[in-house]
Amino acid sequence: MRMLSVALLSGAAIVAGLTLPAQAQTNPSQTNPAQSGPGQASTGPVYVVTSFDVAAKDFGSALDILHPFAAATRKEDGNLELTVLNEVGRGGRFAIVEAWRDKAALDAHGPAMKALGDKLQPLLVAPFSARPYAVLSAAAPAPDAKLDLSTYVLTHVDVFPAGKDEVTGLVKQLADDSRKDKGEERFDALVWAEHPNHFELIEAWTDHQTREAHAAAGHTKAFRAKLAPLEGAPYDERLFEVVR
């Protein structure tokens, strides 16, 4: 049970163990999606994806720090989600996916996140890298989704600035199509608030088989084919499991 350098940004709340129960999640796509551009204030939910690495031998010690942090943070005002992930095959690589009601709620959590970073510092082999995102397309998981048991995929899509508007449409369409795939439990499409040519896909699938079927689906292959000539960096797709 095992992701994603930049200065430490505020953020992170861990819910129900280290993941938010499906029935407790809000639907960001129905709550003024944050479509603000660079330098503008966010008007809706704000996501942050934070990655960091510890030595594999220190995985347990990192969990000892993360669990009490989770218990305190999930009670904070304005927190919508925090899921802690561990990259499959990378024992020391973590990703924290968090969502907040608005930027003010995220900023209020800043001191707690800094304290987490300070506690983890002796274990870190790669520092915190945090990126804030606005919502392009997100939907609440199905009521019976068991997201703490799901196969997660985090994908960072980097395209040339000239192609950002075209790719925005492609990413939204991919999210719409993928939510119809068998085994889909979550498919959120986000855009990096300060760099609108960077996108993040957050997926959850019932198991590896349904995820592989999605990857081979016609609409997924069509998306990849249209995206390829617009990419500014290799397609960065990584598999994760929820940390419990």
pLDDT tens profile 83-138 = 899 999 988 999 999 999 999 999 999 999 999 999 999 999 999 999 999 999 99
In a domain? residue 163: yes
Write the DSSP assignment of 112-147 as a string of letters. HHHHHHHHHGGGEEEEEEEEEEEEEE--PPPTT--G
The per-residue pLDDT of the chain, averaged, comes to 84
At 168, which amino acid appears? T
Residue 14 lies in a domain: no
Residue 11 lies in a domain: no
The pLDDT value recorded for residue 20 is 41
pLDDT cut 90: percent of the chain above it = 68
pLDDT by residue (tens digit) across 52-73? 999 999 999 999 998 888 778 8
Residue 41 inside a domain? The answer is yes
Domain count, the chain: 1
Does residue 5 fall inside a structural domain? Answer: no
Contact indicator for 143, 73 with CB cutoff of 8 Å: no
> Where residue 73 sits, what CATH number does that domain have?
3.30.70.100
CA distances from 71 to 120, 122, 170 (A): 17, 22, 38
Q: Give the domain extent around 157.
A: 22-242
Spatial contact of 3 and 92, defined as CB atoms under 8 Å apart: no
Residue 13 lies in a domain: no
**Could you give the C-alpha distances from 43 to 37, 100, 105, 134, 184, in angstroms and in order?**
11, 11, 12, 9, 28
Residue 4 located in a structural domain: no
Token pair belonging to 29: 């796509």
Structural domain includes residue 64: yes
When computed from its CA atoms, the radius of gyration of the chain, rounded to whole angstroms, is 17
